[in-house]
Amino acid sequence: MYRHEKQHRESLGSFGAALHQEFKTNGVWMREVEGLPWFNLLIFSILLTGVSLFLPHFSNLATNLQSQNLYASWAMTQGQMAYASFFGTSGILFYGLLWLSGYLPFGFLWIGVQFLALIATGWISYRLAYRLVGQIRVAKFAMAMVYVLVFLLGMGGLYAPIFALPVLFYSLSRIAKYIQTREKIGFIRYGMQAALAFMISPMSALFFYSIALIALALYDIRQHQFLQGVYQFLASLLGFSLLFYPIGYVTVWTGSFGDAVGQIIFDATSFQLAHSHLLENVITYLGLAFGLGFLFLLFATLTSFSKGSFELKWMGILGVVIVLVLSIFNPDFGLYHLLPLIPFVFLLITFWMGEQLSVLVGEDSRRARNTTSPLSKYLTVSLYLPFVVGVYVMGRPLVETYILHGEESRERTEVARYIKENSQSTDTIYAWDTSATMYLVSQRLSSSLILSPTQYLTTNENEIKLLNGLQKYPAYIAVNNRLTLNEDVKNILQKSYQESEQSFDQFTLYKRK
């Protein structure tokens, strides 16, 4: 069958081959997606949601950003406003979800929404992978890799990029369909999707849609349709405006519009060529990229353009490289900065695996496709290093929290309880700490927009905001002894504060005179 099909295409010449390829591509996009693995979708989503429920709420393993998001959820129920009362770089819809979740125990609302987001992400990614390569096994593997990356890079959840993933993958599916079938996708709706993603996770949306713009421009240039490309761009801007401005008006109504604009673009403007975490970022991020096979996928894709999907492959390559490089130069360390990588890695691994397992001609190829496991193929080329990466990602927070700084974690809770027992509910405090947990345990609001001196304090403007908050003279200032105090903060403590009667080993607690 395959031999006769090949001879028939050769007899038709180049035109016949092109016609066959176009029919094959359109056929894949038009056919019903087979074998949707609902059981896998549910299991992966339930497991990730369970981790999201346990880690931030019932352990001391929450990262600085996760603890700040938990604080934001509680603080907004106390009348605080996002951007105006605390510094935040996520979108207004994400903070709206946190606000509503603050009225339910353990954040059940955001956990439920995250569960639905994970289900939608898996469903869309499976359908997209199947339509890109037409292979069920590749589609299942690509979908599973999306969940693995969400777990490794966003362990514990409560990160805005995770909630934006369904929108990004849906937009990616529309782009892929347009490029591979030339079918109109409605760029006004596409712009509205961009606005929705931006109002959930601004940085993820900025990365994705900027690189998607490059891919679409490459396609329009190769197709000699410059004017159509201009129309697509303008239609996308119109769609973006139709959704962005009505919802964004909330910040105007609350008087926080100026603060919101500056904060949501903070990550895009705070890159530094030299910072204290540069070496750690280089070793960790590049080590993770090597261990998970990202670097191999980059080189493999660079040598596979002759097999088609030119624009989508370039989109994957540019996305991985740009997110990796900019994350390295971000002064704040955290694997969650790599979450925007996921759609781009998905493209690379789908095309590579599809090409590796594709059937061209002959019984041997067909037999190889039926016996070769995508997982074993992936583990072989990545030298089984994903297991090492998994152990590192899961072990690092455990070692830091319970071995290296176990006493600090215990004392943090003790300090917070002492503050709660010796202050009024209307008092504010400040925690010069690596976490916002102290505010949550003590049930006291922060006196400053900058909740922690170890995050967002890379600009002079934010240093001023922090000092302005301390000059409101909170009832208590708790200082983590591992962190260095700058001279301005030392002066405030010397003039207006005294050490409390209760002493601690890992913290110094100052009480207002």
pLDDT tens readout for residues 79-91: 999 999 999 999 9
Residue 299 is predicted with a pLDDT of 92
Distance separating alpha carbons of residues 223 and 217, to the nearest angstrom: 10
SS3 44: helix
| Pairing, β 497-499 against β 507-512 | antiparallel
| Greater model confidence, 16 or 162 | 162
Does residue 245 have a pLDDT over 90?
A: no
**Mean of pLDDT values over 261-274:** 86
**Look-up of token digits 């490794």:** 152
Q: Tell me the Cα Rg of the chain.
A: 25
* Contact present, 465 and 447 (Cβ < 8 Å): no
**Three-state secondary structure string covering 201-268:** CHHHHHHHHHHHHHHHHHHHHHCCCHHHHHHHHHHHHHHHHHHHHHHHHHHHHCCCHHHHHHHHCHHH
Enter the tokens of residue 265: 């673009």
pLDDT at residue 369 is higher than 60: no
Among 50-64, 116-130, 427-441, the minimum mean pLDDT is found in 50-64
Neighbours of 29 (CB within 10 A): 16
Q: Which residue is listed with tokens 């119109």?
A: 238
CA 466 from centre of chain: 27
3-state secondary structure of 384: coil
* CA neighbor of 432 nearest in space, from 451, 458, 404: 451
Give how far Cα 246 sits from Cα of 161, 191, 197, 264, 510, Å: 22, 14, 15, 17, 45
> What is the token pair recorded at 400?
């830091």
Helix/strand/coil percent split, the chain, to 5? 70, 5, 25
Q: Between 48 and 376, where is the model more confident?
A: 48
Parse the chain into domains and list their residue ranges. 1-31, 32-398, 408-512
C-alpha triplet 30, 33, 39: angle, nearest 5°: 165
Name the pLDDT band for 366 (thresholds 50, 70, 90): low
Higher pLDDT, 498 or 365: 498
385-420 per-position pLDDT tens digit: 889 999 999 998 888 888 888 889 899 999 999 999
Signed CA dihedral, 414, 417, 421, 427: sign only: positive
Q: Which two tokens stand for residue 325?
A: 């490089």
Strands 445-446 and 507-512, bridge-based pairing: unpaired
CA distances 279 to 291, 319, 327, 333, 400, Å, are 18, 22, 12, 10, 18
pLDDT tens per residue, range 181-222: 877 788 999 999 999 999 999 999 999 999 999 999 999 999
pLDDT at position 23: 42
Query: Residues of the chain with pLDDT > 90: what percent?
Result: 61
Helix axes 108-133, 38-58, angle to 10 degrees: 140
**What H or E segment, with its residue span, contains residue 445?**
strand 445-446
Q: Is residue 45 within 8 Å of 118, Cβ to Cβ?
A: yes
Sorting pLDDT into bands at 50, 70 and 90, what band is 13?
very low
| Encoded amino acid at 107, one letter | G
Interatomic CA distance for residues 161 and 450, integer angstroms: 21
**Which pLDDT belongs to residue 259?**
81
User: Tens digits of per-residue pLDDT, 130-148?
Assistant: 999 888 899 999 999 999 9
The model's pTM is 0.90
Burial of 79 (0-12, 13-18, 19+ CB in 10 A): exposed
Q: To which residue do tokens 């050490």 refer?
A: 499
Residue 337 is classified by DSSP as G
Higher per-residue confidence, 31 vs 455: 455
Q: How far apart are CA 146 and CA 135, in angstroms?
A: 17
Contact status, residue 121 vs residue 161, Cβ threshold 8 Å: no
383, pLDDT greater than 90: no
Q: Residue 200 has what pLDDT? A: 96
What pLDDT, on a 0 to 100 scale, did the predictor assign at position 16?
A: 40
pLDDT band for position 36 (50/70/90)?
confident
Task: Strand 476-480: give its sheet, edge to edge.
Answer: 445-446, 428-432, 476-480, 507-512, 497-499
